[in-house]
Amino acid sequence: MQIDLGGRTALVTGGSEGLGLAIANRLARSGARVGILARRPDVLANAVERLSQETPGTIFGHACDVTDEHALRSAVGATVDTLGPIDILVNNAGSSSRSAFKKLTRDTLLDDYNLKVVAAVGLSQLLLPHMRDQRWGRIINIVSINGKAPKAESAPTTLSRAAGITLTKVMSQELAPCNVLVNALCIGTIKSGQWERRHRQNAPDVPYEDYLAPFAKAVPLGRLGEAEELANVACFLASDAASYITGAAINVDGGLSPVP
């Protein structure tokens, strides 16, 4: 499907690598001007250079910790000054923080919730006035299938991801009258920076694909997803082709989740 996002401006958090970078790339290849936020300036600079070389779109990056309200406002201001008002928001910043319940701490819970939920709320609220005024907007929350079907020792990340799905439903109901569509993408086992870090930490001497093989066997399609496959769905939801979809929590998981 050919998707044209020409004239639109998108902002992707956690956009310097992995899934966020793939989404930013896909949106830019479809014609959008794309801003990316990430914490590490060096990694961010490399991502901006790569996107600028690989896509025809205008790319802008701003180093920012999305849990810092002041820094977030500054980053949004700089992005809007450079690219124009933002029409499409992808809340992708996150991590995979997991702990046994007996070891779960208040600080760990709050840090994870602030990163994945509070930051998404704050950023969406900052961008909403423009979307509402023009009666067109797209907000996509990247969450996880584990928010629907959590496993043992998966908190706090599954708690935050479940909250992200609920947040999507709440936002979609309230923002539908002004044609701001809000959806969630629930990811399964998709190749990303998190998987690369797990590989380096747990089995650095094992070839990457061999390390992934046992996890792939659990997926009905028999393989891990590619970041580009998630990016394609995000691009569709960001477009006019998805103009009657809001409040959905779509599994992008190769059939892995037991919950639709």
Structure confidence by residue, pLDDT tens digits, 170-218: 999 999 999 999 999 999 999 988 888 889 999 999 999 999 999 999 9
Mean pLDDT of 89-108: 90
CA–CA dist 144, 133 (Å, integer): 31
Of all residues in the chain, what percent carry a pLDDT higher than 90? 92
Residues 6+ apart with CB under 8 A from 255: 219, 220, 221
Residues 6+ apart with CB under 8 A from 47: 15, 16, 17, 21, 24, 36, 38, 61
Mean pLDDT of 102-112: 93
Whether the Cβ atoms of residue 159 and residue 176 lie closer than 8 Å to each other: no
Whether the Cβ atoms of residue 122 and residue 236 lie closer than 8 Å to each other: no
- Single pTM value for the model: 0.95
**Token code pair at residue 20:** 């966020």
Structure confidence by residue, pLDDT tens digits, 37-89: 999 999 999 999 999 999 998 999 999 999 999 999 999 999 999 999 999 99
Q: How far is CA 121 from CA 89, 168, 227, in A?
A: 11, 10, 25
The residue among 144, 50, 152, 156 whose CA lies nearest residue 91 is 144
